[in-house]
Homo-oligomer: A and B are copies of this chain.
């Protein structure tokens, strides 16, 4: 079976003597003595218009089978199209129908379906225009991420999914076990007898690869993770998933400024890449899903990001002639409304807020000389809100130990993380990007469950 992808056929746009294309029927229009079918193979939003007529082998018999969803292999001649909407069309000589799709039961008929309904048919929903476009953009984002880092000689490192470390503190954890849940072995003290479990200790699904990425950066200087992470939070919102992918670069010999420079370059690169490689899909989103997605993308690409300290940001918010729902005061975290005011109303471009109060940030962030703030940064983007969070890491052993203890943790439990500060410690920094959030912002999709092929959420682990 030698067939050409429809994207390439449409792209070349040249008439051809003989050609075979494969795909699924999207629509059929029957006219007197001939018919048009649109065939889509998922390579692009646009399908290939196929024309059948009495010269097509078994015209009548084949036509009956060509309902929405049927799979076909079409061989014919590629000719300039007479009709509107496409430059070329395939005049079919033979059509082979691999699999029919009964119009009575096939759930994806031509009418529009709600995204809620489509989630119940996650095995078929990617055959729609919207989900197809989302998954192509998702792939382009992922490819851009790898390309960005590989061009800069960062190593992709695979940090573990199963972890015995529960001290990252980023949220609730899933247990991983092969104990018999119906009959969990207990010790004399009525504690779970983990010595009988696979790893002989409690283990969880990772919430972040950062600590392990720091290990790798202390050998290879520049690394990044790109893999699944997990939260067992019972959040049934349009922005939360229990399983999602995260990107976490980590750079040795790098401070917060270098971290911000990289993050800015990184975001611009991805948005540019997707606009270039998925222009048709992005125009679809701009037309059908959210009329601001192109504007939002260009705002990120075209502007030098504003940089402002948390302390300055608080002053600006206090001066703002806006009534906020949540209080503004030094020491309190910024709420979404504050973030949006800063980047949408005040600066009108992506804004990096730096140097947050120590108390509201994680133990591994580097303590500034004022001892009240840490070298953290959050990137806020118009329409999007927080898209990246990062920091310079605390590289001084004594300060780190103090900070770990202040959070009620034991430095010994993180002995290997401490060792990185004991042997050849260096200034280093990194950031994290939630991959599905990125795809959501890129496409304007309102529900995060629609930008991942198989969403995992409370009460739901279908397919």
Contact A212–B463 (Cβ < 8 Å) = yes
Find chain B residues with CB under 8 A from A200 CB. Answer: 459-460
Q: Mark A1-40, 1 if CB is under 8 A from B, else 0.
A: 1010101100000000000001111000000000000000
Q: Mark A254-265, 1 if CB is under 8 A from B, else 0.
A: 110010000000
The residue in chain B whose Cβ has the minimal distance to the Cβ of A160 is B454
Contact A424–B221 (Cβ < 8 Å) = no
**Interface residue? A245 (CB, 8 A):** yes
Q: Mark A161-178, 1 if CB is under 8 A from B, else 0.
A: 111110000001111111
Contact B242–A459 (Cβ < 8 Å) = no
In the assembled complex, the Cα of A132 lies from the Cα of B138 at a distance in Å of 31
| Given A157-B135, A174-B177, A253-B1, A419 contacting B69 (CB threshold 8 A) | no
| Given A220-B43, A395-B99, A416-B123, A143 contacting B135 (CB threshold 8 A) | no
**Interface residue? A117 (CB, 8 A):** no
Which of A150, A181, A203 lies at the interface centre, i.e. has the most chain B CB atoms within 10 A of its CB? A181
**Interface residue? A64 (CB, 8 A):** no
Find chain B residues with CB under 8 A from A160 CB. Answer: 243, 453-454, 456, 461, 463
Contact A122–B461 (Cβ < 8 Å) = no
Contact B216–A453 (Cβ < 8 Å) = yes
The residue in chain B whose Cβ has the minimal distance to the Cβ of A421 is B99
**Interface residue? A190 (CB, 8 A):** yes
Q: Which parts of A30-87 form the interface with B (CB within 8 Å)?
A: 41-43, 69-71, 73
Out of B69, B162, B177, B220, which one reaches A42, CB within 8 Å? B220
| Number of residues on chain A facing chain B (CB within 8 A) | 114
In the assembled complex, the Cα of A318 lies from the Cα of B153 at a distance in Å of 51
**Interface residue? A362 (CB, 8 A):** no
Contact A123–B420 (Cβ < 8 Å) = yes
The residue in chain B whose Cβ has the minimal distance to the Cβ of A186 is B182
**Interface residue? A390 (CB, 8 A):** no
In the assembled complex, the Cα of A175 lies from the Cα of B199 at a distance in Å of 13
Out of B3, B8, B219, B422, which one reaches A127, CB within 8 Å? B219
| Given A139-B156, A227-B228, A463-B416, A220 contacting B425 (CB threshold 8 A) | no
**Interface residue? A325 (CB, 8 A):** no
Which of A99, A173, A179, A462 lies at the interface centre, i.e. has the most chain B CB atoms within 10 A of its CB? A99
Q: Which parts of A199-236 form the interface with B (CB within 8 Å)?
A: 199-201, 203, 205, 212, 215-216, 218-222, 227-228, 230, 232, 234
Find chain B residues with CB under 8 A from A417 CB. Answer: 123
| Given A156-B139, A219-B127, A242 contacting B181 (CB threshold 8 A) | no
In the assembled complex, the Cα of A162 lies from the Cα of B204 at a distance in Å of 13
Out of B132, B158, B174, B459, which one reaches A245, CB within 8 Å? B158
Q: Which parts of A99-136 form the interface with B (CB within 8 Å)?
A: 99-102, 105-106, 122-124, 126-127, 131-132, 135-136
Q: Given A123-B417, A161-B243, list of 7 further CB < 8 A pairs? A: A22-B426, A101-B424, A123-B215, A126-B216, A126-B219, A162-B174, A172-B178
Q: List 15 A-B contacts (CB under 8 A).
A: A1-B253, A41-B252, A42-B220, A69-B424, A71-B426, A98-B427, A124-B419, A126-B216, A136-B155, A160-B453, A162-B243, A174-B177, A174-B178, A177-B177, A184-B184
Chain A residues packing against B (C-beta within 8 Å): 1, 3, 5, 7-8, 22-25, 41-43, 69-71, 73, 98-102, 105-106, 122-124, 126-127, 131-132, 135-136, 138-139, 142-143, 146, 150, 153, 155-165, 172-179, 181-182, 184, 186, 190-192, 198-201, 203, 205, 212, 215-216, 218-222, 227-228, 230, 232, 234, 242-243, 245, 252-255, 258, 395, 416-417, 419-427, 452-454, 456, 458-463
Q: Enumerate the 4 nearest inter-chain pairs by beta-carbon distance, A residue then B residue, closest first.
A: A99-B425, A42-B220, A126-B219, A123-B416
